[in-house]
Amino acid sequence: MDSILVTGNGPLAGQIPIAGAKNACLTLMPATLLSEEPLTLTNAPRLSDIRTMTALLQSLGAEVSDLQDGQVLAMSSHDINNHVADYDIVRKMRASNLVLGPMLARLGHAVVSLPGGCAIGARPMDLHIFGLEALGAEIELKDGYLHAKAPGGLKGAVIEFSFASVGATENVMMAATLAKGTTVLKNAAREPEIVDLASCLRKMGAQIEGDGTPEITIQGVDRLHGATHPVVTDRIELGTYMLAPAIAGGEVELLGGRIDLVGAFCEKLDAAGIAVEETDKGLKVARRNGRVNAVDVTTEPFPGFPTDLQAQMMALLCTAEGVSVLEETIFENRFMHAPELMRMGASIEVHGGTATVTGVEQLKGAPVMATDLRASVSLILAALAAEGETVVNRVYHLDRGYENVERKLQAVGARIERIQD
174-232 per-position pLDDT tens digit: 999 999 999 999 999 999 999 999 999 999 999 999 999 999 999 999 999 999 999 99
Measured in degrees and rounded to the nearest 5, phi and psi for residue 419 equal -105, 115
pLDDT of residue 115 exceeding 50, the answer is yes
Residue 116 confidence (pLDDT): 53
Residue 168 confidence (pLDDT): 96
Half-sphere exposure of 293 (CA within 13 A, CB side): 13
pLDDT of residue 385 exceeding 70, the answer is yes
Residue 121 confidence (pLDDT): 44
Contacts of 156 (CB under 8 A, 6+ apart): 135, 176, 179, 180, 181, 182, 183, 218, 219, 220
Q: Is the peptide bond before 214 cis (omega within 30 degrees of 0)?
A: no
Quick one: CA dihedral 301, 303, 307, 308, positive or negative? positive
pLDDT of residue 172 exceeding 70, the answer is yes
One-letter amino acid at 415 equals R
147-169 per-position pLDDT tens digit: 999 988 999 999 999 999 999 99
In the predicted model, what is the mean pLDDT of the chain? 94
10 Å CB burial of residue 1 (0-12, 13-18, 19+) is exposed
pLDDT of residue 119 exceeding 50, the answer is no
State in Å, rounded, how far the first CA of the chain is from the last one.
5
244-293 per-position pLDDT tens digit: 999 999 999 999 999 999 999 999 999 999 999 999 999 999 999 889 99
Question: How many Cβ atoms are within 10 Å of 117's Cβ, its own excluded?
Answer: 19
Contacts of 201 (CB under 8 A, 6+ apart): 31, 34, 173, 174, 177, 208, 224
Residue 399 confidence (pLDDT): 83
State the Cα–Cα distance between residues 245 and 237, nearest whole angstrom.
14
The verdict on whether 200 is a catalytic residue reads no
Residue 29: closest CA among 57, 65, 61, 71: 57
Q: Which of 25, 118, 266, 318 is catalytic?
A: 118
Residue 104: closest CA among 85, 145, 132: 132
Residue 122 confidence (pLDDT): 45
Measured in degrees and rounded to the nearest 5, phi and psi for residue 257 equal -70, 145
Helix axes 263-272, 235-248, angle to 10 degrees: 10
306-342 per-position pLDDT tens digit: 999 999 999 999 999 999 999 999 877 789 999 999 9
Q: How far is CA 141 from CA 59, 138, 144, 148, in A?
A: 21, 10, 7, 9
Residue 91 confidence (pLDDT): 86
Structural contact between residues 59 and 77, judged by C-beta atoms closer than 8 angstroms:
no
Size (the chain), residues:
421
Residue 35 confidence (pLDDT): 98
Residue 369: closest CA among 32, 119, 146, 43: 119
Residue 117 confidence (pLDDT): 46
Measured in degrees and rounded to the nearest 5, phi and psi for residue 372 equal -160, 180
Residue 272 confidence (pLDDT): 98
Averaged pLDDT for residues 350-368: 96
Q: What percent of the chain has pLDDT over 90?
A: 85
Structural contact between residues 146 and 129, judged by C-beta atoms closer than 8 angstroms:
yes
Averaged pLDDT for residues 74-86: 95
